Amino acid sequence: MVQIEIDPAVVEERIMTLGAIGACHDTGVCRAALTPEWIDAQALVEQWCKQIGLTTRMDAVANLWGRLEGTEGGMVIASGSHIDSQLPGGRYDGALGIIAAITAVEALKRQFGAPKRPLEIVSFCEEEGSRFNGARFWGSRGISGAIAEGDAEAISSYDGTTLAEAMRDIGLDPARFADAVRHDIEAFIELHIEQGPVLELEDLPVGVVNIINGSKGYNVRVVGETNHAGARPMDTRRDALVGVAEMVLAINQNALTMGRPAVSTVGRLNVDPNLGPAVPGKVDFTIDCRHNDAAKLEELSSAHEQAITRIAEKRDLEISWTSRPPLAPCPCDPEIVRVLEESAKSQNIPSLTMPSGALHDTQRISEVARVAMVFVRSKDGRSHTPEEFTSIEDAVAGIRVLAGALHALAY
Amino acid sequence: MVQIEIDPAVVEERIMTLGAIGACHDTGVCRAALTPEWIDAQALVEQWCKQIGLTTRMDAVANLWGRLEGTEGGMVIASGSHIDSQLPGGRYDGALGIIAAITAVEALKRQFGAPKRPLEIVSFCEEEGSRFNGARFWGSRGISGAIAEGDAEAISSYDGTTLAEAMRDIGLDPARFADAVRHDIEAFIELHIEQGPVLELEDLPVGVVNIINGSKGYNVRVVGETNHAGARPMDTRRDALVGVAEMVLAINQNALTMGRPAVSTVGRLNVDPNLGPAVPGKVDFTIDCRHNDAAKLEELSSAHEQAITRIAEKRDLEISWTSRPPLAPCPCDPEIVRVLEESAKSQNIPSLTMPSGALHDTQRISEVARVAMVFVRSKDGRSHTPEEFTSIEDAVAGIRVLAGALHALAY
């Protein structure tokens, strides 16, 4: 396979230039979908695409596309990620995948001229759901046909704006969402920071993702009885928080016992009335559990359900939950995974074939195209924080792996 | 001893009339200190005092006093409680103690004429601290000399008003706080709802409080590391909430193991960043622990400190805490306790001599006078909620016990 040449200085300059838009908390980024900062960032991505000779357009659900025609036409080979961030997020989550796609296509064009197959770069709208919570993966849902009539009107941001209003503000007609669906993409590869510590622990710059873990989420409510913290004897209490504490430990233990890649997290927990001198009467919490094997995910979530039911019963607490629609594990296309592995190997870039613990737009795109992902090492495994960091060397290594695979698929 | 005659209809009418001021949530009361509702309620108490022939005044820290002169003068025998409430609170917490004092003095005056010793009724300002959190027991602190220069200026309500501003609004000069100190009170008896289930479980209407439990409070912070809930393997996490869950169970178990009257409560707990897909990086929580024996309280709080330190160490979490000034257990005056027990016995009112798990103004007044308390049964042991309830029969029983004791002390 080919050797791709990438200039580290260009990659670094692009990271810092994009990271300056919506910069916050020293090294962080606050760039929520469809805000002025996000619009500026999309404009920058568009400008970069044009500079390397791509034709650009914004689709009906606010994804930005850049296209390089292929000499033989046919189905599209695509790459990209998102520029919206957590609040605050870092400079790399999403943004690096777009810079990677641009830098890879630029290098391919310079080294090898026009491709046979069309190459496209995409900047997805609202991956994080950090502004429009119910619109997570909005852009990639639009591409894969997973948006329904009225969704944009029904989804509101934390500031009260509906997604439909925010779309109209940038000149889009929310009713035309179906125009964004693509059936002409053959392969999609997303480069992303790992967001976990596996590559760092293995001392490797690059991962080739062969499966994106499935996930199941719960919102749980536990109700006991609030009482006076001084006057109520311990042995007569129905303390919701004490029960939930036992549940948190059981959920943690279930995932530990199953072993990697099983994970389970109680990330959000709210106590009511949440007063120092009151026995907690009600606790709401979330469970997020993930696995790369659908049967194991089911086993894991069942174990959680059994544990919390048993604990609630034992402690005379009422329990109820809703579970969010599960996302099935998303196996990547074996052929593209092989192409990525070969790209790494032939360029002497050490890599690990691994699952993705995090969810990605790629999962949605898998519904309409063959997909895979490239991971690059995250410092301390951190993400969703201004402290997230990936070295330029690792970014370049990942971009070279991506570009080698795009070459194999499009040239 | 004497038999006191109390008209249940009058007690009920007073409960409902006072409960109508600041009424909320059907059967609840929202009456924060120094608000318009509270001012109206103090005015009603003043009017009732005048109707039964007392002279009234508001002291320098917003306590309302009613006084019936004694034929022989001397030190004062006093009773009362507070009219400020939790938000929302119920109709009985505090309010019943004022109604009891007025109804008892009224009955004594009617049955026995003027007392030898002066009798006073007091409605304390801001017992709950539900508006001015740092001013809990403000009125009784003022009487016992536990207010310092600048306190009223330094304490703000949740709505941003300083206590000093709120005092000026009702015509008080915050600088004159020391005028409220009393050294002429011989005995103070507060009637209060139990706020716990002990009397109900024992099937008794009345309790005679022989000690108010001491308390120690902590604000604890546990710091781990926030990470991506999907990408971070379980075995590499420093999940602050999992650690705190273990601490909550240990604190609960410590108090259970020590047995009654030991209690310990984690009542407030806040998670950061508190997002479903993020491993909790930081958790703040409170510990409230109480016992009627100072050495046991120390033993209990030490056990908590050791447990949370050990768990933090084991889980590689950082831990720090501040402990709020401990309140020592407050033994009631044995002579007044005996008088109350005799009052109950001679009037054929079944009673239990018991500790108070909750804190009360009485604790503060104990610094300048001999004190004791009368408890009346709480339905389901509930308090600090609109659902708190005490039957008129139980209220009348408690008032008779109180009045019998006031007779023994003042006539």
| pLDDT for residue A325 is more than 80 | no
Q: What is the pLDDT of residue A202?
A: 95
| pLDDT for residue A319 is more than 80 | yes
**Look-up of token digits 């924060």:** B32
Distance from CA of B258 to the nearest CA of A (A): 10
Q: Name which of B197, B261, B275 is nearest A268 (Cβ-Cβ).
A: B275
In terms of Cβ atoms closer than 10 Å to its own Cβ (0-12, 13-18, 19+), residue B337 is buried
SS3 A374: strand
**Beta pairing class for B330-331 and B206-212:** antiparallel
**Residue among A158, A222, A234 with most chain B CBs within 10 A, to mutate:** A234
Rounded CA-CA distance B251/B265 in Å is 8
Note whether A183 and A370 are within 8 A (CB). Answer: no
Domain boundary among A294, A327, A360: A327
Instruction: Give buried/exposed letters for B126-141 (b at 16+ CB in 10 A, else e).
Output: bbbbbbbeebbbbbbb
Residue A176 token pair: 């035309």
Q: Are residues A260 and A312 in the same domain?
A: yes
Q: Are residues B225 and B338 in the same domain?
A: no
Q: What is the pLDDT of residue B134?
A: 84
Give the orientation angle of helix A95-112 with respect to helix A8-19, to 10 degrees.
140
Do A196 and B385 make contact, defined as CB atoms within 8 angstroms? no
Domain boundary among B327, B343, B360: B327
Instruction: Give buried/exposed letters for B377-401 (b at 16+ CB in 10 A, else e).
Output: bbbebbbbbbbbbbeeebbbbbbbb
Q: Is residue A296 part of a domain?
A: yes
Query: B211 pLDDT band (50/70/90 cuts)?
Result: very high
Rg (CA), chain B: 23
The letter for the amino acid at A349 is: I
Q: What is the pLDDT of residue B216?
A: 95
Rounded CA-CA distance B139/B120 in Å is 15
Q: Are residues B262 and B282 in the same domain?
A: yes
**Beta pairing class for B263-265 and B278-279:** unpaired
Give tens-digit pLDDT for B313-330. Answer: 999 999 999 997 788 999
Q: Name which of B256, B266, B358 is nearest A228 (Cβ-Cβ).
A: B358
Q: Which residues of B touch A228 (CB under 8 A)?
A: 195-196, 357-358, 381, 383-384
Instruction: Give buried/exposed letters for A187-206 (b at 16+ CB in 10 A, else e).
Output: bbbbbbbbbbbbbbeeebbb
Residues A92-111 have a mean pLDDT of 98
Domain boundary among A305, A327, A349: A327
In terms of Cβ atoms closer than 10 Å to its own Cβ (0-12, 13-18, 19+), residue B207 is buried
Q: Tell me, what CATH number does A190's domain have? A: 3.40.630.10
Q: Is residue A2 part of a domain?
A: no
β-bridge partners, B370 = B187
Q: Name which of B227, B260, B358 is nearest A382 (Cβ-Cβ).
A: B227
Q: Are residues A304 and A280 in the same domain?
A: yes
Q: What is the pLDDT of residue B17?
A: 97
Query: How many DSSP H helices and E strands does chain A contain?
Result: 12, 18
| pLDDT for residue A293 is more than 90 | yes
Give tens-digit pLDDT for B346-368. Answer: 999 999 999 999 999 999 999 99
SS3 A35: coil
Rounded CA-CA distance A240/A281 in Å is 5
Query: B160 pLDDT band (50/70/90 cuts)?
Result: confident
Please check whether residue B227 touches A, CB under 8 A: yes
**Residue among B222, B251, B265, B360 with most chain A CBs within 10 A, to mutate:** B265
Q: Name which of A198, A234, A245 is nearest B255 (Cβ-Cβ).
A: A234
Q: Is residue B2 part of a domain?
A: no
Q: Are residues B184 and B222 in the same domain?
A: no
Distance from CA of A187 to the nearest CA of B (A): 24
End-to-end CA distance of chain B: 12
Note whether A91 and A99 are within 8 A (CB). Answer: no
Do A195 and B231 make contact, defined as CB atoms within 8 angstroms? yes
ipTM: 0.86
Closest CA to B236 of A345, A386, A260: A260
Q: Are residues A136 and A174 in the same domain?
A: yes
For B:376-405, CB contacts with A below 8 A are 381-385
- Mean pLDDT over each residue of chain B, to the nearest integer: 96
Note whether B25 and B106 are within 8 A (CB). Answer: no
Give tens-digit pLDDT for B228-249. Answer: 999 999 999 999 999 999 999 9
Q: Are residues B281 and B182 in the same domain?
A: no
Range of the domain at A178: 8-212+330-410
Q: Tell me, what CATH number does B256's domain have? A: 3.30.70.360
**Look-up of token digits 């501040």:** B322
Query: How many DSSP H helices and E strands does chain B contain?
Result: 12, 18
End-to-end CA distance of chain A: 12
Q: Are residues A125 and A204 in the same domain?
A: yes
SS3 A77: strand
**Beta pairing class for A64-68 and A119-124:** antiparallel
- Within 8 A by CB and 6+ apart from A134, the residues are A154, A155, A156
Q: Are residues A291 and A227 in the same domain?
A: yes
Q: Which residues of A touch B357 (CB under 8 A)?
A: 228, 230-233
Q: Is residue A176 part of a domain?
A: yes
Q: Are residues B159 and B20 in the same domain?
A: yes
| pLDDT for residue A216 is more than 90 | yes
SS3 A344: helix
Q: Are residues B251 and B347 in the same domain?
A: no
Q: Name which of B229, B290, B359 is nearest A288 (Cβ-Cβ).
A: B229
Angle in degrees, CA B315, B317, B319, rounded to 5: 130
Distance from CA of A250 to the nearest CA of B (A): 10
Do A228 and B196 make contact, defined as CB atoms within 8 angstroms? yes
Q: Tally C-beta pairs within 8 A across A and B.
A: 213
| pLDDT for residue A237 is more than 90 | yes
Do A229 and B265 make contact, defined as CB atoms within 8 angstroms? yes
Please check whether residue B213 touches A, CB under 8 A: yes
Kindly state the DSSP code that residue A174 receives in the 8-state scheme: G
Q: Are residues B132 and B171 in the same domain?
A: yes
Give tens-digit pLDDT for B87-117. Answer: 889 999 999 999 999 999 999 999 999 999 9
Please check whether residue B295 touches A, CB under 8 A: no
Do A245 and B242 make contact, defined as CB atoms within 8 angstroms? no
The total of structural domains in chain A comes to 2
φ/ψ (deg, to 5) at A323 = -110, 135
Query: A229 pLDDT band (50/70/90 cuts)?
Result: very high
Note whether B96 and B59 are within 8 A (CB). Answer: no
Rounded CA-CA distance B303/A97 in Å is 51
Rounded CA-CA distance A247/A286 in Å is 11
**Beta pairing class for A76-82 and A119-124:** parallel
Q: Which residues of A touch B358 (CB under 8 A)?
A: 228, 230-231
Nearest chain B residue to A130, by CA: B275
Kindly state the DSSP code that residue A149 receives in the 8-state scheme: T
Share of chain A above pLDDT 70, in %: 100
Q: Is residue B3 part of a domain?
A: no
